[in-house]
Structure 1
């Protein structure tokens, strides 16, 4: 009964998060099912150290990684830099070089704390509305900060020859 309630409350959020990663609604629908099956199998391991939504997004991200590994997809560095900064082990799972990961993290840490937090919140799947509410800024401002920071990091990576457009 508990998982049914969780499913009803978070299925749309998980779906939207997966669409933002995959850009494929059909695949995202499949991954939503796999995410909640994974959640059912690991519900006993959930200790409440993060929100249920964050926990589900983590499972969803891992299900997407599994799909990519199985299908041997190549992911653009831009997508990886934007979506996968959050977890070093996740990045290793999709074969991102440690050097690139460290560079992206260092670039993000060089940003003002509010900007860094906004980007990390976005990566975790928070909406611009939620980010704006936390930081007492408009939804539009959260979007602009996210966009400019992503663009800045990518430009630095391209300039240094770490990433190619």
Structure 2
């Protein structure tokens, strides 16, 4: 009964989160099912040290990574950075462009170590809450740092004619 209540309350949030990772609603629906199945199997481990939503997002992120590992034997941080920094429209179904990923990493090297770490935590799927907790900043501050850095990188890439809006 408890898991049914959790499912009803959080299924849309988990689905939306997965869509931001996968850009694929059908895959996201499948991963939602796998996420809640994983939650059922590990419910006894949940200690309440984070919110249920954060815990579910963590399971969802891991299910997404499992899926990626099955699809492609190695997923590089460059691939993740490329997918993370560009919107769904920018991807338009093309393969990951290695030069662009390398350029994104070069631009990230110009940022402070904290900012760079925050971006990589987001790339890896950490929530703003988890990032804020690690850096002793508010969730909103983590969100703003992420947004501004992503915008700065996209603007630079647009100025250089690497990506188009």
TM-score > 0.5 by shorter chain: yes
Question: C-alpha distance in 2, partners of 1:34/1:139?
Answer: 27
Question: Which residue of structure 2 lines up, in the alignment, with residue 72 of structure 1?
Answer: none
Question: C-alpha distance in 2, partners of 1:160/1:25?
Answer: 32
How far has the Cα of 1:57 moved from its partner? Answer: 3.7
Question: C-alpha distance in 1, partners of 2:130/2:86?
Answer: 18
User: 5+ residue gaps in structure 1?
Assistant: 1-7, 40-51, 67-77, 85-93
Distance 1:65 1:34, change over 3 A: farther
Q: Is the counterpart of residue 109 in structure 1 residue 109 in structure 2?
A: yes
Question: C-alpha distance in 1, partners of 2:113/2:15?
Answer: 29
Question: C-alpha distance in 2, partners of 1:24/1:96?
Answer: 16
Q: Is the counterpart of residue 158 in structure 1 residue 165 in structure 2?
A: no
How far has the Cα of 1:126 moved from its partner? Answer: 1.0
Distance 1:32 1:83, change over 3 A: farther
How far has the Cα of 1:79 moved from its partner? Answer: 7.2
TM-score calculated relative to the size of structure 2: 0.58
Q: Is the counterpart of residue 56 in structure 1 residue 63 in structure 2?
A: yes
Question: Which residue of structure 1 lines up, in the alignment, with residue 20 of structure 2?
Answer: 20
Query: Does the CA contact (< 8 Å) of 2:18 and 2:28 recur in 1?
Result: yes
Instruction: Give RMSD over aligned pairs.
Output: 3.8
How far has the Cα of 1:58 moved from its partner? Answer: 1.4
Query: Does the CA contact (< 8 Å) of 1:35 and 1:59 recur in 2?
Result: no
Question: Which residue of structure 2 lines up, in the alignment, with residue 139 of structure 1?
Answer: 139
Name the stretch that deviates more: 127-136 or 20-29.
20-29
Question: Which residue of structure 1 lines up, in the alignment, with residue 126 of structure 2?
Answer: 126
Q: How many residues align?
A: 123
User: 5+ residue gaps in structure 2?
Assistant: 1-6, 39-57, 73-80, 88-93
Question: C-alpha distance in 2, partners of 1:124/1:96?
Answer: 17
Per-residue CA deviation, residues 126-146 of structure 1 (Å, 9 max, x unaligned), is: 111110000110000000000
Per-residue CA deviation, residues 77-121 of structure 1 (Å, 9 max, x unaligned), is: x9725279xxxxxxxxx6222211100111112110110111111
TM-score calculated relative to the size of structure 1: 0.58
Question: C-alpha distance in 2, partners of 1:149/1:65?
Answer: 30
